[in-house]
Amino acid sequence: MRRKIKNKKELRPDSVFNSTKVAKFTNYIMERGKKTVARKIVYDAMELIKEKTKTQNPLEIFDTALKNTVPNLEVKSRRVGGANYQVPIEVTPQRKIALSMKWIIDAARNKKGASMSKKLADEIIAASKNEGEAVKKRENTHKMAEANKAFAHFAW
């Protein structure tokens, strides 16, 4: 018997930008429940974006970066007759945003040297220009899906 579908809790928008995307992004950055630290990192990154790009609204650049890193396809492993196949599957809208945010954050965390807010700002700016590690990750995911298109009939 299946379990009842759990209702998703509605996320409140953040106080500065009044955006649920920024609130979700802050939650992804947060480690060990330290939300104030995560907020400081995100807001400092937004300030740096504002300074570097000389735009009034860093939210537009953030949205562009998310759009440029959103994957359309991904591969999932599927076991058929004793063999594992990488089956290309379309990504759901919620997962698209989640993957996009996680890839941007991972790319920023993997850089060396500067503070997290500076690394995050650099990665968001790079992603908005269709370059950087997060965009490469999306392209690699699409290439994997394209290469395994022959196994699409195994999708469930």
Write the CATH number for 82.
1.10.455.10
Q: What is the pLDDT of residues 61-72, one digit of tens each?
A: 999 999 999 999
For residue 46, the model assigns a pLDDT of 93
Query: Does the pLDDT at position 131 exceed 80?
Result: yes
Domain-embedded: residue 13: no
Residue 64 near residue 128 (C-beta atoms within 8 A): yes
For residue 154, the model assigns a pLDDT of 73
Query: For residue 14, is it within any domain?
Result: no
Closest CA to 121 of 20, 9, 25, 1: 25
Collapsing DSSP states into helix, strand and coil, what is residue 75?
Answer: strand
Alpha-carbon gap, residue 64 to 17, rounded angstroms: 16
What is the residue type of 112?
Answer: K
pLDDT at 74 over 80: yes
Domain that holds residue 62: 20-154
- This prediction has a pTM of 0.88
Q: Does residue 53 lie in a domain region?
A: yes
Q: Is the pLDDT of residue 84 over 80?
A: yes
Among 53, 36, 71, 74, smallest CA distance to 124 is for: 53
- Number of structural domains found in the chain: 1
Asked if the structure places residue 2 within a domain, the reply is: no
Tell me whether residue 141 is in a domain.
Answer: yes
Residue 101 domain flag: yes
Question: For the segment 8-50, what is each residue's pLDDT rounded down to a tens digit?
Answer: 888 899 888 999 999 999 999 999 999 999 999 999 999 999 9
Residue 7 included in any domain: no
